[in-house]
A = this chain, B = another copy of it.
């Protein structure tokens, strides 16, 4: 199966520490790299992970807190210094253009590519990206500033043609595309073979959802129903739930309950507060409500 995998570049909260970089993740879908959030140090983590900078064309910023976007000027500067010639697209909440355009203009002189900043409205669910094989939907989260999560969803693939049936029935080449699209076939004897007899279903479209920073927003569970891989922030332990509520973050248990509500297949938690030296405690609290959960860590990869 073609690649669909998430690599954590940073999973700490607030500031870089000796244990964690602040937030950035990279989603590799068939060797196209989608960068999700871009804290200070992201470009260094990309190098450590051996990711090709030229394969990154789309960057998704969940919100404009520094620990989710302050790596942008440095990364785009590096694109500029490396002689990049293809455009880069940055999807970010309203405000990003005013904030980052002057930085890009100043630090990335004489470049041969365009920097597109596509701002989206964080108050509504909207498709902010689509290509032949993927859509990205932004959906509202609840944090101290306008924030969105992202749902990455493969476009459903056409079914596979059953070559044995095609050969057996002597179906001509010109008819194949129609059959892939859903048509059946009637033989010269007048026997009708429905689409389902002539094809095998392709793999179901894979999905990844990213929820950070936020309290658990159970209204999003329907949109994310059955998601293959869910990243949800889990800044705090349950003992600090008051602090989580105050700062509009999640506890590990809250993240797990959301994963359960969304019928996620796998949960990864991150955005850990630096106050905890033992993150296994966060894992244990999440496991109580959602068994298939893992702790994020730098350069850890999760395959779908």
Contacts and interface: CB of A to CB of B under 8 A. Distances in A.
Interface of A: 14-18, 21, 40-41, 43-44, 47-48, 64-67, 70-71, 73-74, 77-78, 81-82, 95, 98-99, 102-103, 106-107
A240 B18 CA distance: 37
Contacts of A106: 64, 95, 99
Nearest to A70: B74
A106 to B, nearest CB: 6
Contact of A81 (B15, B47, B70): B15
A32 B124 CA distance: 50
27 contacts: A15-B74, A15-B78, A16-B43, A16-B44, A16-B47, A16-B74, A16-B78, A18-B47, A40-B40, A40-B41, A40-B43, A40-B44, A40-B71, A41-B41, A41-B44, A64-B106, A66-B74, A66-B77, A67-B77, A70-B73, A70-B74, A70-B107, A95-B106, A99-B102, A99-B103, A99-B106, A103-B103
Given A102-B102, A103-B99, A74 B40 contact: yes
Contacts of A99: 102-103, 106
A110 to B, nearest CB: 11
A15 B43 contact: yes
Contacts of A78: 14-16
A16 B21 CA distance: 15
A71 to B, nearest CB: 7
A192 to B, nearest CB: 62
Contacts of A70: 73-74, 77, 107
A110 B183 CA distance: 63
Contacts of A21: 44
Nearest to A106: B99
Contacts of A67: 77
A69 to B, nearest CB: 9
Given A40-B41, A66-B107, A106-B64, A18 B77 contact: no
A212 B92 CA distance: 35
